[in-house]
Chains A and B, each alone.
Chain A
Amino acid sequence: ETGVTQTPRHLVMGMTNKKSLKCEQHLGHNAMYWYKQSAKKPLELMFVYNFKEQTENNSVPSRFSPECPNSSHLFLHLHTLQPEDSALYLCASSQEPRIMGKNIQYFGAGTRLSVL
């Protein structure tokens, strides 16, 4: 098992629900990422946090709201999602994205989200 843990592993929600995904890393890394993985599409980077500061928002709709209270924890708050948001949401962490060679990304197992 790697040091990146995601909960829950599976989530079913209605379009009017509010839920949150949680990611925790025990690797002492400084950067954390949210990716969306849909069938037959590349891994889509959503958000990047480096030292708790958001350094990238890849044109993600506002119904996805990230939160990074510290370098070890990352949340993705979900509200009024659409069925097309159903996907596997992966969290990853890396040591230091500002230094070449220190950006190997370690992934969590993901949360399989179904929006009904």
Chain B
Amino acid sequence: GENVEQHPSTLSVQEGDSAVIKCTYSDSASNYFPWYKQELGKRPQLIIDIRSNVGEKKDQRIAVTLNKTAKHFSLHITETQPEDSAVYFCAASILNFGNEKLTFGTGTRLTIIP
């Protein structure tokens, strides 16, 4: 089955600096890669996603890049703000018996230092 690895597990950056979180996946058939943000005590929420036919996608301060050859994808947050502090999860999706199935990474706890 699919295996998703996520690094680093914790990340602290100064407010205003950039943060990068990286994920690798094992199954080359995976073709959908969402990123979820989970604030303390709250539900995971989708913040950005990318499909395998695209190499990069950007939404304001957040961007995701995908390298299908190397089987890795990354989340980039620029001009970080205190409200960016949360746990971020990457995931990879594969068709499993006709259904899309998400496999999640272990999460990255991002702390923005004011």
Number of chain A residues close to chain B: CB under 8 A: 25
Across the interface, do B97 and A45 meet the contact criterion of CB distance under 8 Å? no
CA distance A56 to B107 in the complex (A): 23
A44-B109 Cα distance, complex, nearest whole Å = 18
Question: Are A50 and B99 in contact, CB atoms less than 8 angstroms apart?
Answer: yes
* Contact sample, A vs B, 22 pairs, CB 8 Å cutoff: A4-B43, A40-B9, A41-B106, A42-B89, A42-B103, A43-B44, A43-B104, A45-B103, A55-B99, A90-B44, A97-B99, A97-B101, A100-B31, A100-B95, A101-B51, A103-B32, A103-B93, A103-B100, A105-B46, A107-B45, A108-B43, A109-B42
In the complex, A66 has a CB within 8 A of chain B: no
A-B contact count (CB 8 A): 62
Task: Give the interface SS of chain B, mostly helix, strand, loop or mixed.
Answer: strand
Q: What's the Cα separation between A110 and B10 when bound, in Å? A: 23
| B residues in contact (CB < 8 Å) with A | 4, 6, 9, 31-32, 34, 36, 42-46, 49, 51, 89, 93, 95-107
- Asked whether A46 is an interface residue with its Cβ less than 8 Å from the other chain, the reply is no
